[in-house]
A = this chain, B = another copy of it.
Amino acid sequence: MNKITSTSNAKVKRLVNLKKKRRARDEEKVFLVEGIRMFREAPKEILNEVYVSESFYKKERSVADDLLASFEVLSDTVFDYVSDTRTPQGILCVAKQMEYTLDTVEGGDKPHIVVLDRLQDPGNLGTIFRTAEGAGVTGIIMDRECVDIYNPKTIRSTMGSIYRMPFCYAANLADAISFLKERGIRTYAAHLEGARDYDEEDYCRPCAFLIGNEGNGLTKEIADLADNYIKIPMKGQVESLNAAIAASVLMFEAARQRRTMSDRIVY
């Protein structure tokens, strides 16, 4: 068995670059996925390269030989060095970045879209992807100042939804919102000045939720473009919710309406 044992190996340096730098990922149009589950769920056509740790190779040899047409082995020390987790599972892949257009993200006949304005927390972004898939969101649009969806921590928090949730980075978020509005998609901004509570609107129609930055909410320019301001009514002294939580409450309200409007007794 050949294995890479030095952290100064050129392949290792490249993997570390892909882990750490958005620019490196974007230049090669790839990203890293780590762990058995993320490996198993990956569409095979996007997997460019697979790396396993020596321990993984020894323990899971049959799995490895079976599953992987070709892979390289890294010594455990080198694997730990390239891994983004504290207790690496021993398998890491270089995958092709997704390529969606605004049209794909729009989502056909029942659009249910999330628009993210300068979201900064990698874990929040991943959690929004995961929750969005569960809530039946058809696509996610982000501006260029959002944290990188291909950040390893974000990828991990998506729990595999990265493979299935259409998304795109808009060069200009205002233009993307106009695009949605021209197609009859109603845009709702979660906003402290919302006149109506979020559950008073009808989300069975095509809809898009605009979600702002963790610290400062939506940019005024973006909030101004929304068809409606909605508010999540708050008890106690809470002024706002975490961005991922606010997005989740809205996405699942839309999901609830879309289910219950057809065949349910509504409490």
B-facing residues in A203-248 (Cβ within 8 Å) = 203-204, 232-238, 241-242, 244-245, 248
- Selected interface stretch from A4-12, A22-30, A82-90, A251-259: A251-259
**Considering the chains assembled together, what is the distance between the CA atoms of A136 and B236 in angstroms?**
7
Chain B nearest CB: distance from A160 CB in Å? 7
Which residues from chain B contact A67 at a C-beta distance below 8 Å?
A: none
Give A255 to B200 CA distance when docked, in angstroms: 14
Contact of A135 among B203, B235, B257, B260 (CB under 8 A): B235
Tell me, in angstroms, the Cα distance from A238 to B134 when the chains sit together: 5
A153 to chain B, nearest CB (A): 12
Chain A residues touching B, range: 35 or more
Chain A contact residues, CB within 8 Å of chain B: 41, 123, 127, 130-131, 133-136, 157, 159-161, 164-165, 197, 199-204, 232-238, 241-242, 244-245, 248-249, 252-253, 255-257, 259-261, 264-267
A sample of 10 more A-B contacts (CB under 8 A), given A133-B235, A136-B235, A157-B242, is: A130-B241, A160-B237, A197-B264, A199-B256, A199-B260, A200-B267, A233-B255, A233-B259, A245-B245, A248-B249
Q: What are 27 sample pairs from A and B whose C-beta atoms fall under 8 A apart?
A: A123-B123, A130-B238, A131-B238, A131-B242, A133-B235, A133-B237, A133-B238, A134-B232, A134-B235, A135-B235, A160-B237, A161-B238, A164-B237, A197-B264, A199-B264, A199-B267, A200-B267, A201-B267, A202-B267, A233-B259, A235-B255, A241-B248, A244-B245, A245-B245, A248-B248, A261-B267, A266-B266
